[in-house]
Chain A
């Protein structure tokens, strides 16, 4: 399966190779489309391809590293 997500890195995590490690540790193909890094945070919009199980395990690991994971396009639940 393929899924599109946004990773938001706090400043102290920007230097960690989280996306590289996600790819080699969980058998998930990562494909970056847009990104920006500032002095307060960094974000990356990317596509992930792999089995549902690997993607879920990979994203759980990314979250455990202190990186926020959101579906693309912001929150869906509206007022």
Chain B
């Protein structure tokens, strides 16, 4: 049966049976999954988890799936890399990178889609759908292929070809919408109302979002069953940040770790930083913005979970930082050149945010700090292609030596 009991409104507390809905009928607040934690506590020990599969399904008791087969592409249990080179440059002695570039479709979205696709199939849906400019599209299409489900992926018509290929290769129906960002949003909302599909971030969003908690669980387990002192998290909708925090706190509540004294730090690109702006102004209302940034994976102007992300910052005594597009590129290069990890633009955002926090003293040298790198740089090569300058030589040793000298 699984341990997820019901859905509950985050605003008014009204409970609903598990079903594909995301909005409270009473107050229109967002719904969240609630669990039978007493039951989970009885079975979910450290040893039980360690006997589980080497992927996110080792935490299935804390995920909203029923018993039975799951859609398993081996997402999760990605490396937690000790980043001594980057740490030395920034004056941090205890720095780690959670490298989610190496998921099956090369981003953390495989975590949420693994859960959403499993729940969708268990609820009897035969079609998965999403609207995306990149990572989510690929993950939904790949999971649908693995699950033998149909997939519809909505994209803006002007999306870069490489990203269209990244989703199309798995065989979904790709719908290129001739319209601006707001119009694509509006269309998808109407499609979700009119077709009996599992639209991963609409009607199954409460279940889908829970997959991100595994980024909290894994880090705690990989650190030897403890929560870090700081985490640096990129923010788009804000969901990932709230779920990392929820993950640490669930582990504490069921007795798998002793305490959570983690400060949660959010970073957004300056061209789309409505949550950082609200934090800086000391308000809890997030004013929507029109995104204008190279960090397309974080370009959500009206973040669904902005308010809840701000609450996490308040509860954890965290910070909020916005970085420029130039810093995004510098951050991508810095991570690649120090740790050999090529992250996409969201990685550039968090690494530059980390640099600011380290230089300002907001993060202390001895504190255990984890940075979440959520997607692979091969997907956004266009933003760094101008920075690549190979040595061009004639096929002679003399030419090569000359080029070396002038380097």
Contacts and interface: CB of A to CB of B under 8 A. Distances in A.
Interface of A: 4, 8, 33-34, 36, 38, 40-41, 43, 45, 47, 68, 70-79
A78 B201 contact: yes
B23 A41 contact: no
Contact of B236 (A8, A38, A78): A78
Given A4-B23, A73-B205, A78 B131 contact: yes
A79 B285 contact: no
Please tell me the size bucket of the interface on B.
35 or more
22 contacts: A4-B28, A8-B288, A33-B27, A36-B285, A40-B285, A47-B28, A68-B288, A74-B303, A75-B300, A75-B304, A76-B188, A76-B189, A76-B192, A77-B185, A78-B133, A78-B135, A78-B237, A79-B133, A79-B136, A79-B296, A79-B297, A79-B298
Contacts of A38: 283, 285
B118 interface: no
Contacts of B132: 77-79
B184 to A, nearest CB: 5
**A-B pairs, 7 with minimum CB distance:** A74-B304, A79-B297, A71-B189, A78-B136, A33-B28, A77-B131, A76-B188
A74 B283 CA distance: 18
Contacts of A33: 26-28
B101 to A, nearest CB: 14
A1 B291 CA distance: 31
B305 interface: yes
Which of B26, B28, B202, B306 neighbours the largest number of chain A CB atoms within 10 Å of its CB? B28
Given A75-B237, A75-B301, A77-B133, 18 more contacts: A33-B26, A34-B11, A34-B27, A43-B285, A72-B28, A73-B22, A74-B237, A74-B302, A74-B306, A75-B302, A75-B304, A76-B199, A76-B202, A77-B185, A77-B300, A78-B130, A78-B133, A78-B236
